[in-house]
Amino acid sequence: MNAESVDCLVLGAGPAGLRAAQVLAEAGREVMVLEKKATVGPKTCAGGLTAKSVSELVPLGLPLEATFASVGHVRFGGEPCTALDAELALVRTISRAALGRMQADWARAAGAEIRIGTTARGVDTDRHEVSTGGGAIRYHHLIGADGSDSAVRRALGLPSPRGCIAAEFNVPGVRLAPLRIECDEPALANGYFWVFPHADYTSIGAAALKDVIPPRRLRPYIAGRAEALGAAVDGVPFEAATLEVEYHGLHFPGGVHLAGDAAGVASSLTAEGIYAALVTGEEVARSIVERDYPAPKTRRWLRVKARHDRLMRRLRARWARTLTIGALSALVRVPPARRPLARWFVDG
């Protein structure tokens, strides 16, 4: 069978892959996106967009009315929930289905082809070829934007520990306020619990490192917290997924590139991955179009991520958690400290 051939092949129609496809197509490059699911968009995710993600998406066409806005609150230890800075900690939520639909429209309008229901089964980086159930596709450039369980990352021989796990109940018909992050050290160690209200449902979940908190503990913990907050989760599907947070680079020999979770660019501290997916998707694509593109947003984000990852590593020690959570709990009660805290954790 003759292999098809395309200039730029993108695996995965998540925020990273669709952003990359849009940029490449706008630059006049031939782009094909393969997406294994039958629908573009839906993914286990709380759908939280920080201000920096919103500032990437609004110029592309995201209508703010499609999102639900809340000021982020935090709770450290036994203290009550406290609102962070109203501007820097404004978080907008959107379902991943809605975000995926919009990004797919933008990419298609630019000229990208998106093939849904098509799984990349084999990646042969020597032959520049990806096999699907229906045959093989040759590429000049391959972008692995296929999420935390990335076939492209594996084909490159990179480690894929997928060290972070996040899990949630999306409770329909409930809008639980405030939007919050809670550090519950005894239960989640250096992980955290969240409540992210959307217009017509609320994501209630938790994130933790798999080697610190056994993943099986998350479901009873989240269910118990949800019920204590008055949100019944009986009959609500429980969803869990891993994040890859180990970064080894974006560009590899043979025209192979990684973006988003496949590249391990999410923050291990906040589990925020949409912004990192959008900017690495965009800038990996720009680097293909323009030799020596400096990728300023990616470089800046990788500095933020390095700070987050360093703190997360330190917080593996119980004494460091006790000290840090105690200090944050005191700091957040001082109003002038709330803006720098929001800048450090959310604004990046």
Ligand X SMILES: Cc1cc2nc3c(=O)[nH]c(=O)nc-3n(C[C@H](O)[C@H](O)[C@H](O)COP(=O)(O)OP(=O)(O)OC[C@H]3O[C@@H](n4cnc5c(N)ncnc54)[C@H](O)[C@@H]3O)c2cc1C
Residues contributing to the site for ligand X (CB under 6 A)? 11-17, 34-37, 43-48, 119-120, 145-147, 151, 166-168, 205, 241, 243, 260-262, 266, 271-275, 277
Nearer to ligand X, 261 or 282 (CB): 261
Least Å distance between CB 280 and ligand X?
8
What does the DSSP assignment read for 74-142? EEETTSPPEE--TTTTEEEE--HHHHHHHHHHHHHHHT-EEETT--EEEEETTTTEEEETTEEEEEEEE
Nearer to ligand X, 56 or 85 (CB): 56
- Name the closest residue to ligand X (Cβ): 273
Question: Partners of 76 in the beta sheet?
Answer: 183
Nearer to ligand X, 115 or 329 (CB): 115
Q: For residue 194, which phi and psi values (nearest 5 degrees)?
A: -135, 155
DSSP 234: T
3-class DSSP assignment, residue 306 = helix
Nearer to ligand X, 110 or 240 (CB): 240
Under a CB-based contact definition with an 8 Å cutoff, are residues 305 and 265 in contact? yes
The CA dihedral of 45, 250, 119, 34, to the nearest 10 degrees, is 90
Nearer to ligand X, 13 or 256 (CB): 13
Taking alpha carbons only, the member of 210, 277, 239 closest to residue 42 is 239
Rg of the chain over all Cα atoms, to the nearest angstrom: 20
Least Å distance between CB 318 and ligand X?
25
Which residues, 6 or more positions from 158, have their beta carbon under 8 angstroms from its beta carbon?
Answer: 248
Taking alpha carbons only, the member of 231, 221, 228, 229 closest to residue 172 is 231
Nearer to ligand X, 166 or 209 (CB): 166
Nearer to ligand X, 185 or 261 (CB): 261
Taking alpha carbons only, the member of 147, 102, 109, 123 closest to residue 9 is 123
3-class DSSP assignment, residue 209 = strand
Least Å distance between CB 228 and ligand X?
20
Least Å distance between CB 322 and ligand X?
27
